[in-house]
Amino acid sequence: MKTILVVEDNRLNLELVEQLLEDDYVVITAMDGEAGVAAAITHKPDLILMDLSLPKIDGWEATARLRTEPDLQETPIIALTAHAAKEALDRAIAAGCDATMTKPIDEDQLLEEIARYINNGRGDSVVTGSPSG
Ligand code: MN
């Protein structure tokens, strides 16, 4: 099974996502940005779900730090956030996230996005999003 790291400081949200994923993936969790970075470096997950508002370091900073790690350049990172403002989402992409999804999450859409990124990686996801289709 592929491994997904979920970085989320809200316990209820974390449990919701864990329950959604645990049948199909190994789920690792972290509840603040620093712990998320440490867990990613240690476990090298196949994909990361990153909350943006997090204690210690936020999800934008955590993502930027992960992208400085040679082993994590190709790891898909999906931001899950209550920040619906375009500026916040654009900053997440600029920090190194591959996609953003706003809470409350659409479970089917999240599972589809995860499957797509886990199967295709970051590179193909860029192609998918290009105007050439
Ligand atoms: Mn949060």
Give the distance (Å) from ligand 1 centre to CA of residue 51. 6
Residue 58 lies in a domain: yes
Residue 127 lies in a domain: no
Residue 57 lies in a domain: yes
Domain of residue 79, CATH code: 3.40.50.2300
Give a three-class secondary structure readout of the chain: CCEEEEECCCHHHHHHHHHHHCCCCEEEEECCHHHHHHHHHHHCCCEEEEECCCCCCCHHHHHHHHCCCHHHCCCCEEEEECCCCHHHHHHHHHHCCCEEEECCCCHHHHHHHHHHHHHHHHHHHHHHCCCCC
pLDDT in tens, 9-52: 999 999 999 999 999 999 999 999 999 999 999 999 999 999 99
Count of domains for the chain: 1
Give the distance (Å) from ligand 1 centre to CA of residue 3. 21
Residue 130 lies in a domain: no
* Structural domain that includes position 36: 3-120
pLDDT in tens, 50-100: 999 999 999 999 999 999 999 999 999 999 999 889 999 999 999 999 999
